[in-house]
């Protein structure tokens, strides 16, 4: 069953908390300590942090008011009184459960009210996930060969981008972080367009001004990626609000990582979205790491999902490596966001199997056991493959034909992109002001003179 946690539901919280705190002090101490990671049992995430059960017992009765029925008539709604002092606990013992549909074997876990996919959609999803993997392998190698300056893979997180994109409609406006090229792929951005951006040639829509992987496409309603983390989140709220004002049948969708939730922009965005009733879906890819900072060093809360309720945002935690769970949750979130004019927060649990980027070596801060566990036993693409092959929708032969075609197209795209001229130097200075102001004219002049004096320090393939 798919269940979103309502944004303000004290009764539900009370029920959950009541369930969670029936344990003795000694058993609690064992469960609350930092556990050794055991990948064979699937455990990765840290559990609760409090050392005593004191706070927990308090929470147990947090929502029980005095018997005198008196209330404080306060702006925003009346509040019951109580004369016993209670602090809200900093943590719960049990984790918010994670919605999933597909078992690792590729079988549907029953009962389940997931959104049944058509064969065509399921096959396109699978093909896009495979394409993404091939792109990642080949572009990563191209960076290692020094042909592009930077790259960053989606390995281990293919299902989130592709399955969420499949559940959206083309008018939904996407503001991604940087690990979601799968959304663009789903929307029809071509391999040539990806390659043009990575090589920063004159066909790149950003005119070579951005680092590789900062894709953007007006045509696909996909905002250009910003390097500073979190900026896309308040922007998405503004866009969602304008879609609501214009009575559009569309929402804004913001993607971001666990690390980005430590930016102030995340908190401002959730609050604004709730207060304005903005139809925006916040999709957090909680992949365990923000470069070398693990989530254990990032939060003391039960991940990200619990933060939604603090701001009055309906939220759900899902298995981000289960394409059917992602598809179903995003489909439902979209309909609630637009119909009920409200934001939705989705925390998708996943794992970053690759290094953070080509500038990172993750073997310095995590074990190969951890990576192997997620790569082999929790692989989102393998799981989806089992399901579509159980349905008889995609054979081994279909798969190898698809791989051969994509590799061929991609190598051609890379050769084309590499051969294509770079944007001229003048492009560095335009598109910000209608007329180039005097200070920028001076800077352009200085750059041209410097380049003339030190040609060896500048790329020779950038036209003047």
> Can you give the binding site for ligand TPP, defined by CB under 6 A?
179, 227-229, 256-260, 263, 285, 287, 289-291, 352, 356
Cα–Cα distance, 329 to 3 (Å, whole number): 9
Give which of ligand TPP, Mg ion, none residue 229 binds (C-beta under 5 to 8 Å, depending on kind).
Answer: ligand TPP
Give which of Mg ion, ligand TPP, none residue 291 binds (C-beta under 5 to 8 Å, depending on kind).
Answer: ligand TPP
Let me know: does 279 contact 337? Beta carbons within 8 Å.
yes
Q: Which residue, 256, 262, 304, is CA-closest to 282?
A: 256
Cα–Cα distance, 440 to 9 (Å, whole number): 55
Minimum CB distance to ligand TPP, residue 365 (Å): 13
Cα–Cα distance, 56 to 276 (Å, whole number): 34
Cα–Cα distance, 395 to 65 (Å, whole number): 61
Minimum CB distance to Mg ion, residue 287 (Å): 4
Query: Reduced to 3 states, what is the DSSP secondary structure of residue 211?
Result: coil
Residue 305 makes CB contacts below 8 A (sequence gap 6+) with 5, 96, 315, 316, 317, 345, 347
Task: Name which of 287 and 420 has its Cβ closer to Mg ion.
Answer: 287
Minimum CB distance to Mg ion, residue 293 (Å): 9
DSSP helix, strand, coil percent of the chain (3-state; round to 5): 45, 10, 45
Token look-up 């549907």 returns 108
The DSSP symbol for 260 reads G
Give which of Mg ion, ligand TPP, none residue 165 binds (C-beta under 5 to 8 Å, depending on kind).
Answer: none
Cα–Cα distance, 192 to 189 (Å, whole number): 8
Q: Under the criterion CB under 5 A, does residue 204 sit at the interface with Mg ion?
A: no
Please identify the residue of the shown chain whose CB is closest to the bound Mg ion. 257
Task: Name which of 182 and 257 has its Cβ closer to Mg ion.
Answer: 257
Near Mg ion in 268-327, by CB under 5 A: 287, 290
For the chain, the maximum distance between any two Cα atoms, rounded to a whole number of angstroms, is 85
Task: Name which of 198 and 406 has its Cβ closer to ligand TPP.
Answer: 198
Minimum CB distance to ligand TPP, residue 326 (Å): 16
Give which of Mg ion, ligand TPP, none residue 179 binds (C-beta under 5 to 8 Å, depending on kind).
Answer: ligand TPP
Cα–Cα distance, 170 to 220 (Å, whole number): 7
Task: Name which of 101 and 346 has its Cβ closer to ligand TPP.
Answer: 346
Give which of ligand TPP, Mg ion, none residue 7 binds (C-beta under 5 to 8 Å, depending on kind).
Answer: none
Minimum CB distance to ligand TPP, residue 231 (Å): 8
Please identify the residue of the shown chain whose CB is closest to the bound ligand TPP. 257
CA distances, 33 to each of 26, 44, 87 (Å): 11, 14, 22
Minimum CB distance to Mg ion, residue 1 (Å): 28
Give which of ligand TPP, Mg ion, none residue 422 binds (C-beta under 5 to 8 Å, depending on kind).
Answer: none
Strands, E, within 68-211: which ranges? Answer: 71-72, 79-80, 173-175
Minimum CB distance to Mg ion, residue 290 (Å): 5
State yes or no: is 356 an active-site residue.
Answer: yes
Q: Which of 54, 141, 377, 445 is catalytic?
A: 141
State yes or no: is 301 an active-site residue.
Answer: no
Task: Name which of 227 and 242 has its Cβ closer to ligand TPP.
Answer: 227
Task: Name which of 256 and 373 has its Cβ closer to ligand TPP.
Answer: 256
State yes or no: is 84 an active-site residue.
Answer: no
Cα–Cα distance, 410 to 299 (Å, whole number): 40
Q: Which of 227, 363, 395, 426 is catalytic?
A: 227
Residue 281 makes CB contacts below 8 A (sequence gap 6+) with 251, 252, 253, 254, 330, 333, 334, 337, 343, 344, 346
Q: Which of 214, 331, 355, 356 is catalytic?
A: 356
Give which of Mg ion, ligand TPP, none residue 136 binds (C-beta under 5 to 8 Å, depending on kind).
Answer: none
Task: Name which of 199 and 299 has its Cβ closer to Mg ion.
Answer: 299
Half-sphere CA count of 141, side-chain side, radius 13 A? 8
Residue 207 makes CB contacts below 8 A (sequence gap 6+) with 423, 427, 431
Q: Which residue, 255, 251, 315, is CA-closest to 280?
A: 251
Q: Which of 7, 154, 357, 362 is catalytic?
A: 357
The DSSP symbol for 275 reads H
Near Mg ion in 220-259, by CB under 5 A: 257-259
Minimum CB distance to Mg ion, residue 45 (Å): 13
Task: Name which of 20 and 262 has its Cβ closer to ligand TPP.
Answer: 262
**Euclidean distance between the first and the last CA atom of the chain, given in angstroms as a whole number:** 61
State yes or no: is 22 an active-site residue.
Answer: no
Give which of ligand TPP, Mg ion, none residue 197 binds (C-beta under 5 to 8 Å, depending on kind).
Answer: none
Interface with Mg ion (CB under 5 A): 257-259, 287, 290
Catalytic sites, residue numbers: 141, 227, 356-357
């Amino acid at each position: 069953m798919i269940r979103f946690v309502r944004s303000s539901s004290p009764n539900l919280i009370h029920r959950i908390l009541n369930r969670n705190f029936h344990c003795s002090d000694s058993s609690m101490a064992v469960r609350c300590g930092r556990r050794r990671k055991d990948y064979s049992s699937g455990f990765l995430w840290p559990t609760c942090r409090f050392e005593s059960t004191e706070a927990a017992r308090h929470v147990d009765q947090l929502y029980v008011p005095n018997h005198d029925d008196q209330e404080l008539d306060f702006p925003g709604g009346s509040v019951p009184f109580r004369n016993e002092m209670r602090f809200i606990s900093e943590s719960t013992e049990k984790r918010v459960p994670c919605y999933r549909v597909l078992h690792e074997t590729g079988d549907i876990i029953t009962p389940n009210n997931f959104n049944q996919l058509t064969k065509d959609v399921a096959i396109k999803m699978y093909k896009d996930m495979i394409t993404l993997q091939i792109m990642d392998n080949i572009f990563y190698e191209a960076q290692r060969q020094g042909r592009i300056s930077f790259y960053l893979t989606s390995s281990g997180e293919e299902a989130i981008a592709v399955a969420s994109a499949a559940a959206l409609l083309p008018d939904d406006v996407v503001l991604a972080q940087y690990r979601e090229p799968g959304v663009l792929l789903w929307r029809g951005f071509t391999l040539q367009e990806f390659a043009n951006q990575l090589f920063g040639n004159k066909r790149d829509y950003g005119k070579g001004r951005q680092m590789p992987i900062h894709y953007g496409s007006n045509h696909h309603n996909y905002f250009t990626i910003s390097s500073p983390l979190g900026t896309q989140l308040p922007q998405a709220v503004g866009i969602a609000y304008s879609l609501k004002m214009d009575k559009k049948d569309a929402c804004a969708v913001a993607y971001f990582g666990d690390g980005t939730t430590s930016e102030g922009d995340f908190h401002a965005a959730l609050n604004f979205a709730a207060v304005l009733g903005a139809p925006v879906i916040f999709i957090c890819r909680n992949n365990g790491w923000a470069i070398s900072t693990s989530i254990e060093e990032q939060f003391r809360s039960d991940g990200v999902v619990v933060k939604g309720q603090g701001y009055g945002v309906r939220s759900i935690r899902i298995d981000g490596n289960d394409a059917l769970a992602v598809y179903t949750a995003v489909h439902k979130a979209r309909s609630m966001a637009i119909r009920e004019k409200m934001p939705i927060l989705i925390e998708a649990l996943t794992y970053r199997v690759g290094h953070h980027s080509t500038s990172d070596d993750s073997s310095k801060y995590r074990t190969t056991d951890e990576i192997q566990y997620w790569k082999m036993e929790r692989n989102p693409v393998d799981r989806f493959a089992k399901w579509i092959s159980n349905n008889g929708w995609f054979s081994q032969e279909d798969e190898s034909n698809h791989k051969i075609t994509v590799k061929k197209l991609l190598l051609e795209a890379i050769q084309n992109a590499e051969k294509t001229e770079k944007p001229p130097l003048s492009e560095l200075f335009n598109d910000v002001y209608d007329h180039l102001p005097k200070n920028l004219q001076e800077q352009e002049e200085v750059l041209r003179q410097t380049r003339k004096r030190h040609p060896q320090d500048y790329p020779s393939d950038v036209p003047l």
